[in-house]
Amino acid sequence: MSDQVILFDTTLRDGEQALAASLSVNEKLQIARALERMGIDIIEAGFPVSSPGDFDSVRQIAATIKNSRICALSRAVQGDIDAAAQALNIADQFRIHTFISTSDIHVESKLKRDFSQVLEMATGAIKYARKFTDDVEFSCEDAGRTPIDNLCRMVEEAIKAGARTVNIPDTVGYTSPSEFGGIITNLFERVPNIHQAVISVHCHDDLGLSVANSIAALEAGARQVEGTINGIGERAGNAALEEIIMILKTRQDRFGLHCNANPTEIYRTSQQVSQLCNMPIQSNKAIVGTNAFSHSSGIHQDGVLKSQNTYEIMTPESIGLVRNTLNLTSRSGRHVIKHRMAELGYRDSDFDLDVLYERFLELADKKGQVFDYDLEALLFFENQKEADAHFQLRQLNVQAGSNHFATGSVELQIGDQIVAEAATGNGPVDSVYRAIERATGQHIEIQGFDIGAQGGGHDALGKVDVTAEFEGRTFHGMGLSTDIVEASAQALIRIYNLIHRQQQINAEKSKRAMEEV
Ligand SMILES: CC(=O)SCCNC(=O)CCNC(=O)[C@H](O)C(C)(C)COP(=O)(O)OP(=O)(O)OC[C@H]1O[C@@H](n2cnc3c(N)ncnc32)[C@H](O)[C@@H]1OP(=O)(O)O
Ligand SMILES: CC(C)C(=O)C(=O)O
Ligand SMILES: [Mg+2]
């Protein structure tokens, strides 16, 4: 049996299912590019039938990404498979992933069918998907709770029908490692044609066992593993792919397995997913948490000073976290910024050096020393900006104290018009939000408002994340500034722009529909 493990990332599909605000196409493309660069073999880009937005993003990702194979999900029904094929067929090679539940509870209570009907739907869907591509993956949803006889039967028939990869998900994170590894061993012992397909696993983290279960399955012979960056996903999430990669790399001595991923891309990709998805990383999270490589107590610090590997089983550098020895201040030039960005894993094409340098100087003037997390936040914020944004914040002023209402005034560029407005409010942010609302003439229902500091100290960059609902969809805007009121205004303006773009798309669609009539 091969010792190569295929890495399948589903951050953009299963991961995205857990987000309050869906990602824009541009945001999904940024994540797909980072995954490609990390060496992920298969990227599950979405579930095209679920919405026109998902369809468009799968199509654009399939058109853009060349070094990872793009995959899309479909239920075991022809309409879903047609949508997946149409979204993917812009790429030379692609994978269709079709699934149906196999556990008694899902078959009876959810699908309201019997097992033989489900077997027929599964094999019919696989054969149909094979009309579009040789690379068809089939998943037995809720395999972890499926009677083993039924699971063996389903796997055997799926392979006969043409599935090249058969995925065994622990959909509700129910099994223990020995149990889940046992399921895979059983399949290898009992399914006669099993070696004609790659056996994959897809574990959820409801009991905190998703990574342990995935590893147990690899030990038992599975050779594809599915997961998401930072473990984001439905409910408690999916197996964290960065943890699996580092287990395979760090414990090669024990497992003897290889994967294509470049681990030095992990840190940057993890940060990007966290920022774009508005999902902060718990500080003690394995591999990518801020504390994952810091040592607090004297005995540990003494040990690390004497020999780093007394308490570090891997180095921060191995995941792309490179310690800085150069102070970045307003006296620094473009060369050092470029050098540091390269050390952090960014390529020249990831940023416009002049723009980044200009933002860096503005920040350095305000706070003195600029840290890595500041640089990364500036880059992230710049990447979010659009030159032709309909709404742009030109100026903002606030008067606030402890005794009175605050007064905020703003000057916005809206299209080619300059609009100025002022309002009072309950605190500076409220007054500015009211002034923006007056200037735009449009009310937006805010659902979530989070202020955080990017880095430590009272001069840290303030990061504001806002989520807001408009016509049943949730939008996410982020703002970044040393002034939290300005960061709050930027986040709201970003939402106005996202909604404006959505309105334009809707208007174009109804125009096209009218023309067709
Ligand atoms: C374990 C997982 O992560 S599965 C993936 C979950 N992801 C999503 O659900 C993506 C977002 N979902 C959607 O956009 C919508 O639910 C859609 C477009 C997929 C379907 O929407 P609707 O047609 O309105 O159906 P709805 O979601 O209410 O119900 C699901 C239907 O699909 C059926 N179904 C569920 N899974 C499957 C499957 N794998 N194959 C075939 N049918 C299925 C259900 O039995 C139900 O059918 P019913 O209407 O006959 O009872
Ligand atoms: C669609 C399948 C693979 C899934 O996400 C699950 O079972 O958790
Ligand atoms: Mg899942």
**Predicted pLDDT at 106:** 98
Domain ranges across the chain: 6-277, 322-384, 391-506
More confident residue, 377 or 114: 114
Residue that is written with structure tokens 């990007």 in the block: 272
Model confidence at 112: pLDDT above 90? yes
Beta strands 417-425 and 473-481 are unpaired
> In whole angstroms, what is the distance from residue 506 CA to residue 517 CA?
17
391-506 fold: Double Stranded RNA Binding Domain (3.30.160)
pLDDT band at 508 (very low <50, low <70, confident <90, very high): confident
CB of residue 14 inside a 6 A radius of ligand 2: yes
**Predicted pLDDT at 66:** 97
Minimal-distance CA residue to ligand 2 atom 6? 171
Q: Which of 100, 156, 160 is nearest to 130 (CA)?
A: 160
Minimal-distance CA residue to ligand 2 atom 2? 141
**Predicted pLDDT at 506:** 81
Minimal-distance CA residue to ligand 1 atom 9? 50
DSSP annotation string for 185-236: HHHHHH-TTGGGSEEEEEEB-TTS-HHHHHHHHHHTT--EEEEBGGG--STT
Minimal-distance CA residue to ligand 1 atom 21? 50
Q: Which of 127-136, 197-206, 290-299 is the least confident region? A: 290-299
More confident residue, 517 or 257: 257
**Predicted pLDDT at 517:** 79
Whether pTM > 0.90 for this model: the answer is: no
**Predicted pLDDT at 507:** 84
**What distance lies between CA 74 and its chain's CA centroid?**
20
Q: What integer is the mean pLDDT of 181-209?
A: 98
**Predicted pLDDT at 456:** 65
Q: Known binder of ligand: residue 300?
A: no
**Predicted pLDDT at 20:** 82
> In whole angstroms, what is the distance from residue 295 CA to residue 311 CA?
8
Minimal-distance CA residue to ligand 1 atom 31? 111
Tens of pLDDT, residue by residue over 141-166, are 999 999 999 999 999 999 999 999 99
Model confidence at 117: pLDDT above 80? yes
**Predicted pLDDT at 49:** 97
Sequence letter at residue 470: F
Model confidence at 348: pLDDT above 80? yes
Sequence letter at residue 207: L
**Predicted pLDDT at 133:** 98
Tens of pLDDT, residue by residue over 46-56, are 999 999 889 99
Give the number of the atom of ligand 1 that is nearest the alpha carbon of residue 76. 40
Residue 326, token pair as written in the block: 């150069």
> In whole angstroms, what is the distance from residue 272 CA to residue 277 CA?
8
**Predicted pLDDT at 490:** 93
pLDDT band at 513 (very low <50, low <70, confident <90, very high): confident
Q: What integer is the mean pLDDT of 283-293?
A: 94
Q: What integer is the mean pLDDT of 119-137?
A: 98
Q: What integer is the mean pLDDT of 180-196?
A: 98
SS3 call for 112? coil
CB of residue 228 inside a 6 A radius of ligand 2: no
Give the number of the atom of ligand 1 that is nearest the alpha carbon of residue 99. 39
Tens of pLDDT, residue by residue over 379-411, are 887 877 776 789 999 999 999 887 778 999 999
**Predicted pLDDT at 412:** 96
CB of residue 76 inside a 6 A radius of ligand 1: yes
Interface confidence (ipTM) of the complex: 0.98
Q: What integer is the mean pLDDT of 100-128?
A: 98
Model confidence at 314: pLDDT above 90? yes
Q: Tell me the sheet residues that pair with 166.
A: 138, 199
CATH of range 6-277; options 3.90.1640.10, 3.30.1330.60, 3.20.20.60, 3.20.20.70: 3.20.20.70
More confident residue, 266 or 498: 266
> In whole angstroms, what is the distance from residue 310 CA to residue 315 CA?
12
Model confidence at 460: pLDDT above 80? no
For residue 74, report the distance from its CA to the centre of ligand 2, in Å: 11
Q: Known binder of ligand: residue 260?
A: no
* Secondary element (H or E) of residue 71: strand 69-75
Q: What integer is the mean pLDDT of 320-333?
A: 83
Mean pLDDT across the chain:
93
**Predicted pLDDT at 481:** 87
Model confidence at 367: pLDDT above 90? no
CB of residue 47 inside a 6 A radius of ligand 2: no
Give the number of the atom of ligand 1 that is nearest the alpha carbon of residue 13. 7
- Residues near ion ligand 3 (Cβ under 5 Å): 14
For residue 123, report the distance from its CA to the centre of ligand 1, in Å: 18
DSSP annotation string for 371-407: -HHHHHHHHHHHHH--TT-SEEEEEEEEE--SSS-EE
Sequence letter at residue 506: N
Contact 58, 23 (CB under 8 A): no
